[in-house]
Structure 1
Amino acid sequence: MPDPLTRRRVLGLGAGLAVTGLAGCGAVPDLGGGVAERGESATCVPRSALGSHRTVGGLPLVYEPDGRRSAFRFDAAFHARLGTWAEGLAAVLPSPPEQLSTYGSWTDGGTACDSWHHAGRAFDLARVRLADGTEVSCRHDRWRSLDGARLDEARQRYWALAAGLHARFSYVLTYLYDAQHANHVHVDNGRSGDGDPTFSPRSGVQVDVVQAVCRYLWGQPVELTGSWDAATRRAAGTVLDGLGLDDDLQAPGSWTGLMSAAAARGRD
Protein backbone atom coordinates (compact mmCIF):
# COMPACT_ATOMS: atom_id res chain seq x y z
CA MET A 1 0.00 0.00 0.00
CA PRO A 2 1.28 3.49 -0.68
CA ASP A 3 2.34 5.45 2.37
CA PRO A 4 -0.19 8.25 2.98
CA LEU A 5 1.07 11.80 3.39
CA THR A 6 2.27 12.31 6.96
CA ARG A 7 0.19 14.86 8.83
CA ARG A 8 1.90 17.34 11.12
CA ARG A 9 0.32 17.89 14.49
CA VAL A 10 1.15 21.19 16.12
CA LEU A 11 0.78 20.18 19.78
CA GLY A 12 3.34 22.42 21.41
CA LEU A 13 6.48 20.35 20.97
CA GLY A 14 9.64 22.30 21.63
CA ALA A 15 13.15 21.23 20.64
CA GLY A 16 15.23 19.36 23.20
CA LEU A 17 18.93 18.62 22.96
CA ALA A 18 20.64 15.27 22.62
CA VAL A 19 23.89 14.59 24.45
CA THR A 20 26.10 16.59 22.11
CA GLY A 21 23.63 19.31 21.27
CA LEU A 22 21.71 17.86 18.31
CA ALA A 23 17.95 18.10 18.17
CA GLY A 24 15.94 15.61 20.20
CA CYS A 25 12.40 15.55 21.56
CA GLY A 26 10.75 18.46 23.25
CA ALA A 27 7.69 19.14 25.33
CA VAL A 28 5.59 16.58 27.14
CA PRO A 29 3.35 14.64 24.73
CA ASP A 30 -0.38 14.63 25.38
CA LEU A 31 -3.54 12.68 24.65
CA GLY A 32 -4.75 15.09 22.03
CA GLY A 33 -6.11 17.74 24.38
CA GLY A 34 -2.86 19.40 25.43
CA VAL A 35 -2.80 18.23 29.06
CA ALA A 36 -1.00 15.12 30.29
CA GLU A 37 -3.33 12.54 31.82
CA ARG A 38 -3.78 12.64 35.60
CA GLY A 39 -2.15 16.09 35.71
CA GLU A 40 1.35 14.65 35.46
CA SER A 41 4.10 16.96 34.27
CA ALA A 42 7.76 16.47 33.58
CA THR A 43 10.39 17.58 36.07
CA CYS A 44 14.06 18.47 35.77
CA VAL A 45 16.45 16.00 37.38
CA PRO A 46 20.16 16.84 37.68
CA ARG A 47 22.61 14.72 35.70
CA SER A 48 24.36 13.64 38.90
CA ALA A 49 21.16 12.02 40.23
CA LEU A 50 20.87 9.60 37.31
CA GLY A 51 22.76 6.41 36.56
CA SER A 52 25.10 6.24 33.57
CA HIS A 53 24.53 3.28 31.24
CA ARG A 54 26.27 2.00 28.13
CA THR A 55 23.69 -0.71 27.51
CA VAL A 56 19.94 -1.26 27.60
CA GLY A 57 18.89 -4.85 28.19
CA GLY A 58 22.45 -5.93 27.48
CA LEU A 59 22.55 -4.20 24.08
CA PRO A 60 25.30 -1.60 23.52
CA LEU A 61 24.17 1.98 22.99
CA VAL A 62 25.56 3.93 20.04
CA TYR A 63 25.10 7.65 19.51
CA GLU A 64 23.40 7.90 16.11
CA PRO A 65 25.08 11.10 14.83
CA ASP A 66 28.65 9.77 15.17
CA GLY A 67 28.24 5.99 15.41
CA ARG A 68 30.26 5.74 18.64
CA ARG A 69 29.41 3.65 21.65
CA SER A 70 28.44 6.05 24.42
CA ALA A 71 27.03 6.24 27.92
CA PHE A 72 23.68 7.88 28.61
CA ARG A 73 21.90 8.95 31.80
CA PHE A 74 18.62 7.28 32.81
CA ASP A 75 16.14 7.21 35.65
CA ALA A 76 16.60 3.77 37.22
CA ALA A 77 13.00 2.54 36.89
CA PHE A 78 12.70 3.76 33.31
CA HIS A 79 16.01 2.11 32.35
CA ALA A 80 14.88 -1.17 33.91
CA ARG A 81 11.56 -1.17 32.02
CA LEU A 82 13.29 -0.23 28.78
CA GLY A 83 15.73 -3.06 29.44
CA THR A 84 12.88 -5.57 29.75
CA TRP A 85 11.62 -4.45 26.34
CA ALA A 86 15.12 -4.80 24.83
CA GLU A 87 15.62 -8.26 26.32
CA GLY A 88 12.49 -9.43 24.53
CA LEU A 89 13.59 -8.23 21.09
CA ALA A 90 15.33 -11.50 20.20
CA ALA A 91 11.95 -13.26 20.28
CA VAL A 92 10.25 -10.86 17.84
CA LEU A 93 12.98 -9.94 15.32
CA PRO A 94 14.17 -11.96 12.31
CA SER A 95 17.72 -12.03 13.69
CA PRO A 96 19.15 -11.41 17.20
CA PRO A 97 19.65 -7.72 18.04
CA GLU A 98 23.22 -6.54 18.57
CA GLN A 99 23.08 -2.79 19.09
CA LEU A 100 20.74 0.17 19.66
CA SER A 101 21.44 3.51 17.99
CA THR A 102 20.00 6.50 19.80
CA TYR A 103 19.84 10.28 19.87
CA GLY A 104 19.89 10.19 23.65
CA SER A 105 17.99 9.97 26.91
CA TRP A 106 18.57 12.63 29.60
CA THR A 107 19.08 16.22 28.51
CA ASP A 108 19.58 19.37 30.55
CA GLY A 109 16.23 21.14 30.74
CA GLY A 110 17.56 24.31 32.32
CA THR A 111 14.49 26.10 33.61
CA ALA A 112 12.08 24.64 31.04
CA CYS A 113 11.40 21.18 32.56
CA ASP A 114 8.85 20.48 29.82
CA SER A 115 10.16 17.13 28.57
CA TRP A 116 10.58 13.70 30.15
CA HIS A 117 14.09 13.78 28.70
CA HIS A 118 14.86 16.30 31.44
CA ALA A 119 14.02 13.63 34.01
CA GLY A 120 15.93 10.82 32.29
CA ARG A 121 12.61 9.11 31.58
CA ALA A 122 12.66 9.27 27.78
CA PHE A 123 14.66 7.63 25.02
CA ASP A 124 15.00 8.38 21.30
CA LEU A 125 15.59 5.24 19.24
CA ALA A 126 17.04 5.52 15.73
CA ARG A 127 17.97 1.97 14.70
CA VAL A 128 18.33 -1.61 15.94
CA ARG A 129 21.24 -3.45 14.33
CA LEU A 130 20.75 -7.19 13.86
CA ALA A 131 23.23 -10.06 13.83
CA ASP A 132 22.52 -10.89 10.19
CA GLY A 133 23.78 -7.45 9.12
CA THR A 134 20.33 -5.93 8.58
CA GLU A 135 18.55 -3.44 10.81
CA VAL A 136 15.21 -2.20 12.00
CA SER A 137 15.27 1.47 11.13
CA CYS A 138 13.31 4.23 12.81
CA ARG A 139 14.79 6.61 10.21
CA HIS A 140 11.62 7.30 8.27
CA ASP A 141 13.47 10.29 6.82
CA ARG A 142 15.65 7.77 4.96
CA TRP A 143 13.52 4.72 4.18
CA ARG A 144 10.40 6.62 3.08
CA SER A 145 12.07 7.14 -0.33
CA LEU A 146 12.32 3.39 -0.95
CA ASP A 147 9.79 1.56 -3.09
CA GLY A 148 8.40 -1.90 -3.67
CA ALA A 149 9.44 -4.76 -1.42
CA ARG A 150 12.19 -2.72 0.28
CA LEU A 151 9.68 -0.10 1.41
CA ASP A 152 7.25 -2.77 2.57
CA GLU A 153 9.92 -4.50 4.67
CA ALA A 154 11.22 -1.27 6.24
CA ARG A 155 7.70 -0.10 7.08
CA GLN A 156 6.60 -3.45 8.49
CA ARG A 157 9.70 -3.71 10.70
CA TYR A 158 9.23 -0.12 11.86
CA TRP A 159 5.62 -0.60 12.96
CA ALA A 160 6.31 -3.97 14.56
CA LEU A 161 9.07 -2.32 16.62
CA ALA A 162 6.83 0.62 17.55
CA ALA A 163 4.08 -1.80 18.61
CA GLY A 164 6.50 -3.65 20.90
CA LEU A 165 7.28 -0.37 22.64
CA HIS A 166 3.55 0.44 22.88
CA ALA A 167 3.05 -2.84 24.73
CA ARG A 168 5.13 -1.43 27.60
CA PHE A 169 4.80 2.37 27.34
CA SER A 170 1.87 4.71 26.67
CA TYR A 171 3.88 7.48 24.98
CA VAL A 172 5.55 6.23 21.82
CA LEU A 173 5.89 8.98 19.22
CA THR A 174 6.43 8.02 15.58
CA TYR A 175 6.75 9.95 12.33
CA LEU A 176 2.96 10.25 12.30
CA TYR A 177 3.13 12.50 15.36
CA ASP A 178 5.07 15.31 13.69
CA ALA A 179 8.08 16.05 11.48
CA GLN A 180 10.47 16.11 14.48
CA HIS A 181 10.06 12.35 14.78
CA ALA A 182 11.00 11.48 11.19
CA ASN A 183 14.44 10.25 12.31
CA HIS A 184 13.60 8.46 15.56
CA VAL A 185 10.91 6.91 17.72
CA HIS A 186 10.51 8.60 21.10
CA VAL A 187 9.43 6.58 24.13
CA ASP A 188 8.80 7.74 27.69
CA ASN A 189 6.92 6.58 30.78
CA GLY A 190 5.38 9.94 31.65
CA ARG A 191 1.85 8.55 31.51
CA SER A 192 2.22 4.82 32.24
CA GLY A 193 4.98 5.05 34.86
CA ASP A 194 6.16 1.61 35.99
CA GLY A 195 2.92 -0.14 35.00
CA ASP A 196 1.55 -1.58 31.79
CA PRO A 197 -0.18 0.88 29.45
CA THR A 198 -3.89 0.85 28.77
CA PHE A 199 -5.70 2.08 25.68
CA SER A 200 -7.52 5.40 25.48
CA PRO A 201 -9.45 6.29 22.29
CA ARG A 202 -8.50 9.91 23.07
CA SER A 203 -4.80 9.13 22.65
CA GLY A 204 -3.74 10.14 19.18
CA VAL A 205 -0.45 8.25 19.41
CA GLN A 206 -2.23 5.03 20.36
CA VAL A 207 -4.80 5.41 17.59
CA ASP A 208 -1.89 6.00 15.18
CA VAL A 209 -0.30 2.66 15.98
CA VAL A 210 -3.62 0.78 15.83
CA GLN A 211 -4.29 2.14 12.35
CA ALA A 212 -0.71 1.53 11.17
CA VAL A 213 -0.46 -2.07 12.36
CA CYS A 214 -3.93 -2.91 11.01
CA ARG A 215 -2.96 -1.43 7.64
CA TYR A 216 0.66 -2.47 7.23
CA LEU A 217 0.89 -5.68 9.27
CA TRP A 218 -2.57 -7.17 8.72
CA GLY A 219 -3.56 -5.57 5.41
CA GLN A 220 -6.75 -3.95 6.70
CA PRO A 221 -8.11 -1.10 4.50
CA VAL A 222 -7.92 1.66 7.11
CA GLU A 223 -6.63 5.18 6.58
CA LEU A 224 -4.11 6.84 8.89
CA THR A 225 -6.38 9.58 10.17
CA GLY A 226 -5.42 9.59 13.85
CA SER A 227 -9.15 9.46 14.64
CA TRP A 228 -10.89 6.63 16.51
CA ASP A 229 -13.55 6.41 13.83
CA ALA A 230 -15.89 3.62 12.76
CA ALA A 231 -13.52 2.32 10.06
CA THR A 232 -10.69 2.06 12.57
CA ARG A 233 -12.89 0.26 15.09
CA ARG A 234 -13.96 -2.23 12.42
CA ALA A 235 -10.38 -2.89 11.31
CA ALA A 236 -9.16 -3.31 14.89
CA GLY A 237 -12.10 -5.58 15.68
CA THR A 238 -11.30 -7.84 12.71
CA VAL A 239 -7.67 -8.20 13.81
CA LEU A 240 -8.57 -8.70 17.47
CA ASP A 241 -11.13 -11.37 16.60
CA GLY A 242 -8.52 -13.18 14.55
CA LEU A 243 -6.18 -13.15 17.53
CA GLY A 244 -8.87 -14.43 19.89
CA LEU A 245 -8.86 -11.18 21.88
CA ASP A 246 -11.74 -9.07 23.13
CA ASP A 247 -12.53 -6.56 20.38
CA ASP A 248 -12.79 -3.79 22.98
CA LEU A 249 -9.23 -2.43 23.23
CA GLN A 250 -10.03 -1.10 26.69
CA ALA A 251 -10.78 -4.62 27.95
CA PRO A 252 -8.07 -6.28 30.09
CA GLY A 253 -5.38 -7.85 27.93
CA SER A 254 -6.64 -6.55 24.58
CA TRP A 255 -4.21 -3.64 24.19
CA THR A 256 -1.05 -5.47 25.25
CA GLY A 257 -2.22 -8.55 23.34
CA LEU A 258 -2.64 -6.62 20.09
CA MET A 259 0.65 -4.75 20.47
CA SER A 260 2.56 -7.93 21.38
CA ALA A 261 1.09 -9.77 18.39
CA ALA A 262 2.03 -6.87 16.12
CA ALA A 263 5.59 -6.86 17.51
CA ALA A 264 5.90 -10.58 16.74
CA ARG A 265 5.12 -9.90 13.08
CA GLY A 266 8.55 -8.27 12.90
CA ARG A 267 9.94 -11.78 12.50
CA ASP A 268 8.28 -12.13 9.08
Structure 2
Amino acid sequence: MGAWSIATAPSAQALSSYGEINDWPTYYEVPPFPAVQWQYDTTFYSRLEAWIRFFYVNTPYNWVTPAQICGYGAYVNKPGYHGSGRAFDLSRIYLHVDGLWERVFNGRYDEWRSLTGSALTVTRKRYFACAASIHYHFRNVLTYLYNTDHWNHIHIDNGVSGAGNSYFVTSSGAQVEFVRAALNYVWGYPVAINQSWDSTVDYYVRLALVRSGGAGPLTTQSYWQRFCQSTTRFGTGKQAY
Protein backbone atom coordinates (compact mmCIF):
# COMPACT_ATOMS: atom_id res chain seq x y z
CA MET A 1 0.00 0.00 0.00
CA GLY A 2 3.02 2.26 0.05
CA ALA A 3 4.31 3.96 3.18
CA TRP A 4 1.90 4.00 6.10
CA SER A 5 2.23 6.57 8.83
CA ILE A 6 2.28 5.22 12.35
CA ALA A 7 -0.79 6.40 14.17
CA THR A 8 -0.38 7.50 17.77
CA ALA A 9 -2.42 5.24 19.99
CA PRO A 10 -5.00 7.09 22.08
CA SER A 11 -6.10 5.85 25.43
CA ALA A 12 -8.97 3.38 25.26
CA GLN A 13 -11.08 5.95 27.12
CA ALA A 14 -10.84 8.28 24.11
CA LEU A 15 -12.62 5.73 21.92
CA SER A 16 -16.26 4.70 21.76
CA SER A 17 -17.53 1.16 22.35
CA TYR A 18 -20.08 -0.53 20.11
CA GLY A 19 -21.50 -4.04 20.05
CA GLU A 20 -22.83 -3.62 16.52
CA ILE A 21 -22.09 -1.92 13.21
CA ASN A 22 -25.16 -0.19 11.81
CA ASP A 23 -27.27 -2.40 14.11
CA TRP A 24 -25.60 -5.63 12.90
CA PRO A 25 -24.31 -7.34 16.09
CA THR A 26 -20.60 -8.14 16.28
CA TYR A 27 -19.09 -11.43 17.42
CA TYR A 28 -15.54 -12.50 18.19
CA GLU A 29 -14.14 -15.01 15.67
CA VAL A 30 -12.77 -17.31 18.37
CA PRO A 31 -14.83 -20.11 19.96
CA PRO A 32 -17.30 -19.86 21.60
CA PHE A 33 -17.83 -16.82 19.31
CA PRO A 34 -19.25 -14.47 21.94
CA ALA A 35 -21.10 -11.26 21.25
CA VAL A 36 -18.63 -8.47 21.87
CA GLN A 37 -18.22 -4.73 22.09
CA TRP A 38 -15.15 -3.29 20.41
CA GLN A 39 -13.67 0.18 20.73
CA TYR A 40 -13.48 2.48 17.71
CA ASP A 41 -12.47 5.94 16.68
CA THR A 42 -15.85 7.53 15.95
CA THR A 43 -14.98 8.69 12.41
CA PHE A 44 -13.75 5.23 11.50
CA TYR A 45 -16.85 3.66 13.01
CA SER A 46 -19.04 5.95 10.90
CA ARG A 47 -17.16 4.78 7.81
CA LEU A 48 -17.85 1.16 8.77
CA GLU A 49 -21.53 1.99 9.11
CA ALA A 50 -21.52 3.57 5.64
CA TRP A 51 -19.84 0.46 4.24
CA ILE A 52 -22.41 -1.89 5.80
CA ARG A 53 -25.30 0.16 4.41
CA PHE A 54 -23.65 0.11 0.97
CA PHE A 55 -23.05 -3.64 1.15
CA TYR A 56 -26.67 -4.28 2.10
CA VAL A 57 -28.24 -2.31 -0.75
CA ASN A 58 -25.85 -3.76 -3.33
CA THR A 59 -26.46 -7.42 -2.48
CA PRO A 60 -29.44 -9.62 -3.43
CA TYR A 61 -32.93 -8.68 -2.30
CA ASN A 62 -33.36 -12.00 -0.48
CA TRP A 63 -30.28 -11.29 1.69
CA VAL A 64 -32.03 -9.67 4.64
CA THR A 65 -31.53 -8.84 8.28
CA PRO A 66 -31.16 -9.90 11.04
CA ALA A 67 -27.41 -10.10 10.47
CA GLN A 68 -24.20 -10.98 12.27
CA ILE A 69 -20.66 -9.70 11.78
CA CYS A 70 -17.70 -11.74 12.99
CA GLY A 71 -14.16 -10.48 13.33
CA TYR A 72 -11.03 -10.16 15.40
CA GLY A 73 -11.66 -6.66 16.66
CA ALA A 74 -10.77 -3.01 16.21
CA TYR A 75 -8.75 -1.29 18.95
CA VAL A 76 -5.64 -3.11 20.15
CA ASN A 77 -3.09 -1.47 22.45
CA LYS A 78 -0.21 -1.31 19.97
CA PRO A 79 1.21 1.09 17.38
CA GLY A 80 -0.57 1.53 14.07
CA TYR A 81 -4.20 2.01 13.11
CA HIS A 82 -5.50 -0.74 15.36
CA GLY A 83 -3.88 1.20 18.19
CA SER A 84 -5.93 4.25 17.16
CA GLY A 85 -9.21 2.34 16.90
CA ARG A 86 -9.10 3.05 13.16
CA ALA A 87 -8.79 -0.53 11.90
CA PHE A 88 -11.03 -3.58 11.89
CA ASP A 89 -10.38 -7.24 11.03
CA LEU A 90 -13.42 -8.81 9.33
CA SER A 91 -13.85 -12.60 9.16
CA ARG A 92 -17.48 -13.42 8.33
CA ILE A 93 -20.90 -11.92 7.61
CA TYR A 94 -24.16 -13.79 8.11
CA LEU A 95 -27.56 -12.73 6.79
CA HIS A 96 -30.94 -14.39 6.36
CA VAL A 97 -31.36 -15.82 2.85
CA ASP A 98 -34.85 -17.09 2.08
CA GLY A 99 -35.56 -17.28 5.80
CA LEU A 100 -32.43 -19.20 6.84
CA TRP A 101 -29.09 -18.05 8.27
CA GLU A 102 -26.38 -18.09 5.59
CA ARG A 103 -22.73 -17.10 5.62
CA VAL A 104 -22.72 -14.61 2.74
CA PHE A 105 -19.08 -13.63 3.25
CA ASN A 106 -16.35 -15.94 4.48
CA GLY A 107 -13.00 -14.31 5.15
CA ARG A 108 -11.50 -17.55 6.44
CA TYR A 109 -9.37 -18.37 3.41
CA ASP A 110 -7.40 -20.65 5.71
CA GLU A 111 -10.54 -22.82 5.92
CA TRP A 112 -12.02 -22.60 2.43
CA ARG A 113 -8.92 -22.60 0.21
CA SER A 114 -9.13 -26.40 -0.12
CA LEU A 115 -12.69 -26.32 -1.47
CA THR A 116 -13.34 -27.43 -5.04
CA GLY A 117 -15.97 -26.98 -7.73
CA SER A 118 -18.93 -24.67 -7.27
CA ALA A 119 -18.36 -24.35 -3.52
CA LEU A 120 -14.95 -22.77 -4.18
CA THR A 121 -16.24 -20.64 -7.06
CA VAL A 122 -19.13 -19.16 -5.08
CA THR A 123 -17.15 -18.62 -1.87
CA ARG A 124 -14.29 -16.91 -3.69
CA LYS A 125 -16.60 -14.78 -5.83
CA ARG A 126 -18.47 -13.59 -2.74
CA TYR A 127 -15.17 -12.93 -0.99
CA PHE A 128 -14.00 -10.51 -3.65
CA ALA A 129 -17.47 -9.01 -4.03
CA CYS A 130 -17.39 -8.10 -0.34
CA ALA A 131 -13.79 -6.92 -0.66
CA ALA A 132 -14.95 -4.63 -3.48
CA SER A 133 -17.57 -3.05 -1.22
CA ILE A 134 -14.86 -2.39 1.35
CA HIS A 135 -12.41 -1.00 -1.22
CA TYR A 136 -15.13 1.47 -2.27
CA HIS A 137 -14.96 3.05 1.18
CA PHE A 138 -11.42 2.45 2.43
CA ARG A 139 -8.03 3.07 0.86
CA ASN A 140 -6.24 0.45 2.97
CA VAL A 141 -7.73 -3.03 2.53
CA LEU A 142 -5.67 -6.19 2.91
CA THR A 143 -7.02 -9.56 1.74
CA TYR A 144 -5.57 -13.07 1.88
CA LEU A 145 -3.59 -12.19 -1.25
CA TYR A 146 -1.45 -9.76 0.72
CA ASN A 147 0.21 -12.32 3.00
CA THR A 148 -0.55 -15.35 5.16
CA ASP A 149 -1.29 -13.11 8.17
CA HIS A 150 -4.52 -12.20 6.37
CA TRP A 151 -5.67 -15.70 5.49
CA ASN A 152 -8.34 -15.53 8.20
CA HIS A 153 -9.61 -11.97 7.82
CA ILE A 154 -9.73 -8.82 5.71
CA HIS A 155 -7.96 -5.87 7.32
CA ILE A 156 -9.72 -2.51 6.96
CA ASP A 157 -8.47 0.92 8.03
CA ASN A 158 -9.05 4.56 7.14
CA GLY A 159 -5.48 5.66 7.68
CA VAL A 160 -5.34 7.22 4.20
CA SER A 161 -8.97 7.74 3.17
CA GLY A 162 -10.04 9.28 6.48
CA ALA A 163 -13.67 10.40 6.49
CA GLY A 164 -14.11 10.00 2.73
CA ASN A 165 -14.38 7.23 0.15
CA SER A 166 -11.31 5.64 -1.37
CA TYR A 167 -9.51 6.23 -4.65
CA PHE A 168 -7.22 4.05 -6.77
CA VAL A 169 -3.50 4.45 -7.41
CA THR A 170 -1.55 2.14 -9.68
CA SER A 171 1.37 2.15 -7.21
CA SER A 172 -0.69 0.35 -4.55
CA GLY A 173 0.21 -3.31 -4.80
CA ALA A 174 -2.72 -4.36 -2.60
CA GLN A 175 -5.23 -2.44 -4.71
CA VAL A 176 -3.80 -3.74 -7.98
CA GLU A 177 -3.83 -7.28 -6.64
CA PHE A 178 -7.48 -6.87 -5.67
CA VAL A 179 -8.38 -5.54 -9.13
CA ARG A 180 -6.65 -8.46 -10.82
CA ALA A 181 -8.42 -10.96 -8.55
CA ALA A 182 -11.81 -9.31 -9.12
CA LEU A 183 -11.29 -9.39 -12.88
CA ASN A 184 -10.40 -13.06 -12.69
CA TYR A 185 -12.78 -14.47 -10.08
CA VAL A 186 -15.81 -12.19 -10.50
CA TRP A 187 -15.67 -10.91 -14.09
CA GLY A 188 -14.10 -13.99 -15.66
CA TYR A 189 -11.19 -12.30 -17.43
CA PRO A 190 -7.91 -14.25 -17.70
CA VAL A 191 -5.44 -12.05 -15.86
CA ALA A 192 -2.57 -13.16 -13.66
CA ILE A 193 -2.86 -12.14 -10.02
CA ASN A 194 0.06 -10.01 -8.92
CA GLN A 195 0.77 -6.45 -7.78
CA SER A 196 1.82 -4.95 -11.14
CA TRP A 197 -0.32 -2.56 -13.13
CA ASP A 198 -0.12 -2.82 -16.92
CA SER A 199 -2.05 -2.18 -20.10
CA THR A 200 -3.63 -5.65 -20.05
CA VAL A 201 -5.23 -5.01 -16.67
CA ASP A 202 -6.39 -1.59 -17.80
CA TYR A 203 -7.95 -3.16 -20.91
CA TYR A 204 -9.98 -5.70 -18.94
CA VAL A 205 -11.01 -3.11 -16.35
CA ARG A 206 -12.46 -1.01 -19.14
CA LEU A 207 -14.32 -4.04 -20.52
CA ALA A 208 -15.87 -4.63 -17.10
CA LEU A 209 -16.79 -0.95 -16.81
CA VAL A 210 -18.41 -0.95 -20.25
CA ARG A 211 -20.55 -3.89 -19.17
CA SER A 212 -21.63 -1.93 -16.09
CA GLY A 213 -22.48 1.26 -17.96
CA GLY A 214 -19.39 3.30 -18.78
CA ALA A 215 -15.62 3.14 -19.02
CA GLY A 216 -12.73 5.36 -18.04
CA PRO A 217 -9.44 5.27 -16.15
CA LEU A 218 -9.56 3.57 -12.78
CA THR A 219 -7.45 6.42 -11.37
CA THR A 220 -10.54 8.63 -11.75
CA GLN A 221 -12.41 8.14 -8.49
CA SER A 222 -15.85 7.84 -10.08
CA TYR A 223 -14.69 4.95 -12.28
CA TRP A 224 -12.97 3.27 -9.35
CA GLN A 225 -16.19 3.51 -7.38
CA ARG A 226 -18.18 2.17 -10.35
CA PHE A 227 -15.82 -0.78 -10.63
CA CYS A 228 -16.09 -1.56 -6.91
CA GLN A 229 -19.86 -1.21 -6.84
CA SER A 230 -20.50 -3.28 -9.96
CA THR A 231 -18.08 -5.95 -8.71
CA THR A 232 -20.06 -6.13 -5.47
CA ARG A 233 -23.36 -6.41 -7.30
CA PHE A 234 -22.13 -8.90 -9.89
CA GLY A 235 -20.18 -11.04 -7.46
CA THR A 236 -23.08 -11.45 -5.03
CA GLY A 237 -25.68 -12.03 -7.72
CA LYS A 238 -27.52 -8.75 -7.19
CA GLN A 239 -27.15 -7.81 -10.86
CA ALA A 240 -25.87 -9.45 -14.06
CA TYR A 241 -23.73 -7.50 -16.48
TM-score (norm 1): 0.82
Q: Is the contact between residue 125 and residue 236 of structure 2 (CA under 8 Å) also seen in structure 1?
A: no
Q: How does 1:246-265 map to 2 (within 5 A)?
A: 246-265=215-234
Deviations 1:212-245 (A, max 9, x none): 1111111001010111022212211211222233
Q: Is the contact between residue 164 and residue 260 of structure 1 (CA under 8 Å) also seen in structure 2?
A: yes
Amino acid at match of 1:267: T
Structure-1 residue corresponding to 2:110: 141
Q: Secondary structure at the match of 1:131?
A: strand
- Alignment partner of 1:84 out of 24, 37, 50: 50
Structure-1 residue corresponding to 2:164: 195
- Alignment partner of 2:76 out of 101, 107, 126: 107
Displacement after TM superposition at 1:84 (Å) = 1.2
Structure-1 residue corresponding to 2:38: 72
Q: How does 1:218-237 map to 2 (within 5 A)?
A: 218-237=187-206
Q: How does 1:29-108 map to 2 (within 5 A)?
A: 30-31=1-2, 35-36=3-4, 40-66=5-31, 67-94=33-60, 95-97=63-65, 98-108=67-77
TM-score (norm 2): 0.91
Unaligned runs of 5+ in 1: 1-29
Structure-1 residue corresponding to 2:81: 116
- Aligned mates of 2:185, 2:156 — CA distance in 1: 21
Unaligned runs of 5+ in 2: none
Displacement after TM superposition at 1:252 (Å) = 3.9
Structure-2 residue corresponding to 1:13: none
- Aligned mates of 2:12, 2:149 — CA distance in 1: 24
Displacement after TM superposition at 1:89 (Å) = 2.5
- Aligned mates of 1:266, 1:157 — CA distance in 2: 6
Identity of aligned residues (%): 34
Deviations 1:13-65 (A, max 9, x none): xxxxxxxxxxxxxxxxx32xxx23xxx43211111110010000110000010
- Aligned mates of 1:208, 1:57 — CA distance in 2: 29
Q: Is the contact between residue 207 and residue 215 of structure 2 (CA under 8 Å) also seen in structure 1?
A: no
- Aligned mates of 2:200, 2:235 — CA distance in 1: 25
Structure-2 residue corresponding to 1:186: 155
- Aligned mates of 1:96, 1:153 — CA distance in 2: 19
- Aligned mates of 2:23, 2:137 — CA distance in 1: 18
After the TM superposition, which segments of 4 or more aligned residues of structure 1 sit over 3 Å from their partners?
none
- Aligned mates of 2:48, 2:202 — CA distance in 1: 30
Displacement after TM superposition at 1:205 (Å) = 1.2
- Aligned mates of 1:63, 1:252 — CA distance in 2: 34
RMSD of Structure 2 on Structure 1 (CA): 1.3
- Aligned mates of 1:197, 1:90 — CA distance in 2: 19
